[in-house]
Structure 1
Amino acid sequence: MNFRFNWDALGIATSVACAIHCAILPLLLTSLPVFGINIIENVLLEYTMIFIAFAIGMYSLWHGYRKHHHSYLPAIVFCVGIILLIAKQIWHDHQIWLLPFAVIFIVSAHVINYRACRVHDHAHADDCDH
C-alpha cells in the first residue's frame, strides 16, 4: 500500500485549527477562570500554537520548494502571516484587525504552494515523492 502524506493539507488544517482556537475558544471556555484554569489568555499556549503552525507550515512549504516549484513566494506569504500572528500577541488590543489577515496570509501560502506543486512540469519526476 502506497501511503502519501499531504503536508499542505496538514498546514491548512493547522491554520484552520489555530483560527478556530482564536475565534471560538474564548467564547466556549469563558467559565474556566471560575475553576482556576487560565487557557484563554495563556501566553505560553498562544506562542506554542504559533510555533507548531510555523514548524509544520515551513516543513510543508520547504517540501514544495525543494521537490516541485522552487519558488520562495509561498514561504514569504506564510512568514508574513506568522509575523502578523506574533504581532497579534504583542499588540493584543489590535488582534481583531491582525488575526484575520494573519489567517488569510497563512492559508493563502498553503494554497499557493499546493497549486504550484500541481502545476510544476515534473522534469525530474523520478525524484519527486509527492
Structure 2
Amino acid sequence: MKSYKITGRLDRAGMTASAMCAVHCALLPMVITLLPLWGLEFLAEEWVELFMIGLALIIGVISLSVSFKKHHRRKMPLLLLAVGFGFILLGHLSYSELLEPILIPLGGLTIAASHYINWRFSACRMHP
C-alpha cells in the first residue's frame, strides 16, 4: 500500500511536470518577446527546458518502473513514456522549424498520458 501512495504522488508530479513542459514548449515561441517585460526571460533559456525534460525523465522512470514491478505489470505506460521521450528527442534533433514546436509538446503530453494511465492501472489494481 505504501508503494502505491508513493507512485501515485510521483505520477501526479510526473503529469504536472510533463504538462508544464508541453505548455512551456508550445507557448514559448508565441510569448518570447513579452518575457523580459514580465521578468521571466529565464524561461527562454536552454537550461530551463533541459531541466524540465530531465525532471520528467527521472520521475517517469522511477514511478512507472515501481508501478510496473509492484502493481500492474502492464507495459503500456512504459511504452508511452518511451514514445513521449522519442518525440522530444526527434523535436530537438529535427532541423525543421515546423516540426520542433509540434513534436516537443506532443512528447510532453504523451508522457503526461503515460503517468495518467499508470496511475489508473495502479488504482484499479489496488481497489478492484
> What TM-score, normalized to structure 1?
0.73
Please list every run of 5 or more consecutive structure 2 residues that lacks an aligned counterpart in the other structure: none
CA contact (8 A) 2:22 2:106 kept: no
* Aligned-pair CA distance for 1:121: 5.6
Asked if 1:111 is matched to 2:116, the reply is yes
For 2:12 and 2:121, locate their aligned partners in 1 and report how far apart those are by CA, in whole Å.
14
* Aligned-pair CA distance for 1:54: 0.7
Instruction: Tell me the residue number matched to 2:91.
Output: 88
Change (3 A) 1:80 1:26: same
Q: Which has the larger radius of gyration?
A: 1
For 2:33 and 2:90, locate their aligned partners in 1 and report how far apart those are by CA, in whole Å.
24
* Aligned-pair CA distance for 1:31: 5.0
CA-to-aligned-CA distance 1:53-89 (integer Å, 9 cap, x gap): 1111111112211221122221111111011111111
Q: Percent identity?
A: 30
**Higher RCO (CA 8 Å, separation ≥ 6 residues):** 2
Higher helix share: 2
Let me know the Cα RMSD of the aligned residues: 2.8
Q: Partner of 2:63: helix, strand, or coil?
A: helix
Please list every run of 5 or more consecutive structure 1 residues that lacks an aligned counterpart in the other structure: 123-130
CA contact (8 A) 2:21 2:105 kept: no
Count of matched residue positions in the alignment of Structure 1 and Structure 2: 118
For 1:78 and 1:54, locate their aligned partners in 2 and report how far apart those are by CA, in whole Å.
9
CA-to-aligned-CA distance 1:11-46 (integer Å, 9 cap, x gap): 00001110121123343342568xxx6752x44443
Q: Partner of 2:22: helix, strand, or coil?
A: helix
